[in-house]
Amino acid sequence: MATDVQIVTRKVVSVNPATGEVLREFESASESKVRAAVSRARVAQPQWNELGVKKRIAILREFQTLLHQKKSDVACLITREAGKPRVEALLTEVLVVLDAARFCIENAYGFLREEQVPHRNLVMKAKAGRILREPYGVIGIISPWNYPFSIPAVEALAALITGNAVVVKPSELTSLVALELEALLHVAGVPKDLFQVVVGDSTTGAALISSQIDKLVFTGSVATGKRVAQVAAARLLPVVLELGGKDPMLVLDDADVDVASSAAVWGAFMNAGQACLSVERCYVDRTLYDGFIEACVAKTKRLRLGNGLDPEIDLGPLIHERQVQIVESHVEDARARGARVLTGGSRLPKVGANFYAPTVLAGVTHEMRIMREETFGPVLPVMSFENDEEAIRLANDSEFGLAASVWTRDKARGEALGRRISAGTVMVNDAISCFGISEAPHGGVKSSGIGRTHGRLGLEEMVRIKYLDSDRLPGLKKVWWYRYGELFTRQMEGFLDLMFARGLSGRLRGALRSAGVLRRKGRL
């Protein structure tokens, strides 16, 4: 008897979050399509690696030139699909990628050069060792929607320059931006099979994780990151996980209130608060608290919301309704527990469905969700502290540890406190901009993830380490080979004394005891 088989096609839709306009509809890549993409990448990778670093640098330089030429078009696409103001797309996405390409171009030779390893052990003096850095093979990247261009591009450039192939699964909300990155790389000379984008939903992402990739770089939520780690652990797939943050900002009693309040407003509301490095907890010395709050409220009320393609706009929309609901629930929980909403605290339906007013909260406590869970929205909760010790305790009272900032006129004091904060990055008198420093590693501690992207440490994540050793006396049997015996044991005891005994006399006695070991007879 014949049986009808129903094939379900999964769709993902790209929508402008500011206007609701449907930009494009895609069919989600199936598991078989993902596996086929990874297979093609694996076939293409050896030739890319054999191309050599000089030619790979030339291709990245061409990509950099193309991106610079198309900077405005790329920024507009990012704004249409992710909602952020176009100037933010230029600065936090296009500029970051251009500089990441510069970093790879300038550092690839030195990074991939064989590294000589000195041999201080006297027994090993006849050997010459080198450290080699070799590509993993195929790097899988699962990237988020909040920085749909800069996050996958920075990771991909590091993978490509070190000789890897790359398969990217972007967020289903920002597929167009990832495909633009793919197109630019292909025009620059990256082979099509070497860099591929597989568009789809979470099922597509799961297929990439379970495919035969050699390493995974994942950026997303803590809950999803833990599931990714469990799946990866089953086959010992190495991973880099960037899982968000709840970044604290500490405003000390000697800080410049005008500067610090401007930083807090920008740090909390840039990209509508949808940044893993956003200021999500603000702690202010009690002597500055009232003036600081007043300044933040006044500056927040001056912000202009709307479509990010309008150059006069400061804040765009949240990415979708689910994110609005999360922000709304955090604010309402805080309000119910006694927090005061000094400005904002509501949706802005007249501006658009996904707009939420930038919000300043006072009277918050660590019992509130707004101070414990990642909000990822335009909310600035401000809490006072009595002294530096309390400030450090509050900053470290979080499951997250991505980044933090300290604001003070005293650099030494700020750096001293920064050393005590549990975070992957601490900035003194700035926030968020660490992401734009190509030389600086990006990543966190605790639930903020494992591993690093950006900088030399980001390059290290893209290579396997191999130690290669050659003996300079290949025709000589080694002293430590069989066979052993009582005399050899005494000689080796003496040799250890020669190397490690304290005092000259002890070492001389050791030299005498070990004498003759090179002429030891009876070796097999």
Handedness of CA 202, 204, 210, 215 (dihedral sign): negative
Query: Can you tell me which residue has the tokens 């009690």?
Result: 286
Residue 242 bears catalytic tag: yes
Euclidean distance between CA atoms 268 and 273, whole angstroms: 5
Q: What are the tokens at 238?
A: 């190495």
Name the residue type at position 20.
Answer: G
Query: Can you tell me which residue has the tokens 């001389």?
Result: 508
**Which residue, among 405, 380, 408, 386, has the nearest Cα to 395 in the 3D structure?**
405
Q: What are the tokens at 25?
A: 């509809």
Beta bridge partners of 239: 216
Residue 158, phi-psi category: left (phi > 0), alpha (psi -120 to 50), beta (remainder): alpha
Q: What is the DSSP letter of 319?
A: S
Which of 104, 172, 276, 282 is the catalytic position?
Answer: 276
Crossing angle of helices 289-301 and 257-269, rounded to 10°: 50
Name the residue type at position 350.
Answer: K
- Is residue 258 within 8 A of residue 303, CB to CB? The reply is no
> Residue 428's CB: how many other CB atoms inside 10 A?
19
Which of 81, 180, 242, 280 is the catalytic position?
Answer: 242
Helices (H), 84-236: 86-89, 95-112, 150-161, 175-188, 202-210, 222-233
Q: CB under 8 Å to 361, separation ≥6 — which residues?
A: 331, 334, 339, 340, 341, 342, 345, 370, 379, 380, 381, 382
Q: Which residues are annotated as catalytic?
A: 242, 276
